[in-house]
Amino acid sequence: MKKIGKYFGIALIVMVIAICFLYFNNDIGISRTNIEKDARYSQKIEDNWQVAKDTTDTMSAMIFYSEDFSDHTFSIYVNRPGLSFGYFFISGGSVIETEEYVAEFSAEGYDERAFVSMNKQQVSKVDIDDGNTIQTIKIDSKKPFAFILPNNCGSVTIYDINGNIVESVSH
């Protein structure tokens, strides 16, 4: 019985050391379900602000905004490849690109890009043409938005409510 207790104690110590090692090497990130909560806490975003967001297995994009659309903050997180657990903050704040335009964010080493906007251009749809078919994403033209697309999805064309093409601005 003492041997089982000894082995259990050693295994517990090894697990604690491994978890500490991962934590201090920044290999333990935020779980997918807690990304919004982490962004609100770390960027001091008020609880009553609305959020538009999209999260994939490798990236998360969010734009938080006040009820009257007068203020906003965006957050971009990535899930690192290899030995890491969870998502990590890479960019955020309030920039003119997300307020006045459709901001396009990409992260080096990731095959996705995020599109984030307060939607002052009144974007109503996004067409993705892969050369064979055109997929359409409908957007509420009166609300901010965030969505993520693969880099190799094809041609991405963004339209306003009048059918005019809206260009994205790389950030």
pLDDT value, residue 21: 54
Cα distances from 147 to residues 25, 105, 116, 119, in angstroms, run: 30, 10, 7, 12
pLDDT, residue 24, reads 53
Coil, helix or strand for 139? coil
| Residues composing the chain | 171
pTM over 0.85: no
Task: Please give the Cα distance from 17 to 15 (Å, whole number).
Answer: 5
The pLDDT, as a whole number, for residue 18 is: 58
Q: Which two tokens stand for residue 169?
A: 């601005």
CB 63 within 8 A of CB 52: yes
**What are the structure tokens assigned to 73, written together?**
């903050």
- How high is the pLDDT of residue 29? 81
Helix (H, G, I), strand (E, B) or coil at 95: coil
What is the spatial distance between Cα 53 and Cα 72, in angstroms, rounded to a whole number? 13
Nearest CA to 51 out of 61, 35, 63 is that of 63
pLDDT of residue 171: 75
Cβ-based neighbour number of residue 78 at 10 Å: 22
pLDDT in tens, the chain (171 residues): 667 767 666 767 766 665 555 555 555 688 899 999 999 999 999 999 999 999 999 999 999 999 999 999 999 999 987 666 789 999 888 877 777 889 999 888 889 999 999 999 999 999 999 989 999 999 999 999 999 999 888 899 999 999 999 998 887
Closest Cα partner for 76 from 57, 54, 97?
A: 54
The whole-number pLDDT of residue 80 equals 83
Q: What is the pLDDT of residue 109?
A: 84
